[in-house]
A and B are shown apart, each in its own frame.
Chain A
Amino acid sequence: MHSFGYRANAVVTFAVTILAVMCSIASLSDNFNASSPTAEIKVLNINWFQKQPNGNDEVSLTMNISADLQSMFTWNTKQVFVFVAAEYETPQNALNQVSLWDGILPSKENAKFWIHTTNKYRFVDQGSNLRGKDFNLTLHWHVMPKTGKMFADKIVMTGYRLPDSYR
């Protein structure tokens, strides 16, 4: 009844149970975090805009992204993955989401940022629908926890428009 094996078993079971409970409480506590994120994206320039030989439109643009995601960080947050996607509708596709830029915010101190950048990933349409196209720029973020549930949310910014002709 009081052999080494039984005691080891009891200690390990107890330790694992406590660890599991603490992990779930840490994850649940994320739900009480009230956040107030802000973001602003300016399209400064259309660098070039052309039709690829295979018929798909491609555009290169320069953006100014500023955001404050400091309120997304809690004690259970490992990092926040943040990205900007262009979102638009075409006759063929109900939704197109093209990621233009992304970054990893490793800590709260880095979560209020400002960056001047061209698109990191190619902005290519499926087809030739981009001339004069209205599109949204959406700042998405994905909160990656130390343990438990992951969270994601976004801020949609509307009213961007591509030029009517290639350049």
Chain B
Amino acid sequence: MGWIADGMESIRSLQIRQVLTQVVSLGMIVTSALIIWKGLMCVTGSESPVVVVLSGSMEPGFKRGDILFLHMSKDPIRAGEIVVFNVDGREIPIVHRVIKVHERQETGEVDVLTKGDNNFGDDRLLYARGQLWLQQHHIMGRAVGFLPYVGWVTIIMTEKPIIKYLLIGALGLLVITSKE
């Protein structure tokens, strides 16, 4: 129990200057994370540059808990690309492969059909009622890079919020009690 007493002691012995330093360093951590995120958004042109795979519909290529890096360039969508799209009326974006593309002659608008590699049929059942094709505005980005397992951190935190609060609490305590 010695470390609790030590911790209390260090809280008591805090001086205003130390508190300020710690607040500033905490602020630096939070803002630098935000800068990296927003910077990535600018560089990749996608509103969410990194997504976590939540379902097994792209197995064995992408498993639940893998993360994908997205890029949204001006290049038109082509068959075979793995895109992340939002369907009206569904909150969670879906990561699937494009299997059909029809691109208009003059306007350049595209009609796109997608399918999960591990699913039997195409995605028309997942789209909004009566929707046959995805358009450009549904698509948030195309996957360009892949990193396995890392996404489990966020999956565990969203599914077991208690772990998230424990972690934040522990980190907070560490910041308060650390001396330098």
Residues in chain A within 8 A of chain B (CB atoms): 5, 23, 27, 78-79, 81, 83, 85, 91-99, 102, 104, 106, 121, 126, 140, 142, 144-150, 152, 154
Contacts and interface: CB of A to CB of B under 8 A. Distances in A.
Contacts of B163: none
Given A78-B61, A104-B117, A149 B104 contact: no
A106 B102 CA distance: 30
A146 B108 CA distance: 35
A93 B105 contact: yes
17 contacts: A5-B174, A78-B61, A81-B80, A85-B79, A85-B80, A93-B103, A94-B105, A95-B101, A97-B100, A102-B99, A121-B99, A142-B80, A146-B148, A149-B146, A150-B82, A150-B143, A152-B80
A98 B100 contact: yes
B89 interface: no
Interface residues of B, number: 27
B147 interface: yes
A96 B108 contact: no
A96 B148 CA distance: 34
A92 B105 contact: yes
A18 B108 CA distance: 45
B111 A144 contact: no
Q: Which 9 interchain pairs have the tightest Cβ spacing?
A: A99-B99, A97-B79, A97-B101, A95-B103, A140-B80, A144-B61, A94-B105, A126-B102, A93-B102
Given A83-B79, A104-B61, 8 more contacts: A78-B60, A92-B104, A95-B101, A102-B117, A104-B117, A126-B102, A126-B111, A154-B80
A128 B82 CA distance: 29
A148 B105 contact: no
Interface of B: 60-62, 78-82, 97, 99-105, 108, 111, 117, 122, 143-148, 174
Nearest to A87: B79
B43 to A, nearest CB: 15
B105 A91 contact: yes
Contacts of B81: 152
Nearest to A78: B61
B146 A140 contact: no
A95 B148 CA distance: 35
Contacts of B102: 93, 95-97, 126
A29 to B, nearest CB: 15
Q: Which of A78, A92, A95, A154 has the most CB of B within 10 A?
A: A95
A155 to B, nearest CB: 13
A78 B148 CA distance: 11
A109 B102 CA distance: 35
A128 B140 CA distance: 32
Nearest to B121: A121
Among the interface residues B100, B111, B145, which one has the most CB atoms of the partner chain A within 10 A?
Answer: B100
